[in-house]
């Protein structure tokens, strides 16, 4: 499978996914750490991809949605943005609602 197809499948099959350097428990970049922390504080399950363990994704993800940096957060198949945007949404109380809607939509589609 082509790397862009793999990314598209990951984004489609996970209501919330963060592409980050490291993992939520062991982030390897301050921006990834803060974004993952905001997602965790929402209490809604999310998937993650450690881009440092997949050089193909690391090299090609910036082309996928024309976003040059990491982390990248996708909710309901759409790029939300990176660390700053995620933290702003969290501070305004919007991030949790977005995540909950995406998870509920995915669960309804699987029912």
Residue list for the binding site for [2Fe-2S] cluster: 29
CB 86 within 8 A of CB 95: yes
How would you classify residue 17: left for phi > 0, otherwise alpha for psi between -120 and 50, otherwise beta? beta
Strand partners, 72: 19
Question: Which stretches within 1-111 are classed as H helix?
Answer: 3-13, 30-41, 55-64, 83-91, 94-110
Place of tokens 């996914």: 17
């Amino acid at each position: 499978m082509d790397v862009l197809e793999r990314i598209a499948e990951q984004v489609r099959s996970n209501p919330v996914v963060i592409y980050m350097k490291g993992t939520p428990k062991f982030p390897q970049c301050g921006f990834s750490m803060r974004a993952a922390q905001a997602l965790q504080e929402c209490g809604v399950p999310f998937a993650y991809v450690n881009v440092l363990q997949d050089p193909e994704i690391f090299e090609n993800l910036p082309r996928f949605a024309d976003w040059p940096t990491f982390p990248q957060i996708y909710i309901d198949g759409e790029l939300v943005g990176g660390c700053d945007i995620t933290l702003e949404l969290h501070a305004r109380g919007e991030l949790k609602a977005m995540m909950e809607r995406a998870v509920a939509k995915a669960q309804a589609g699987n029912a």
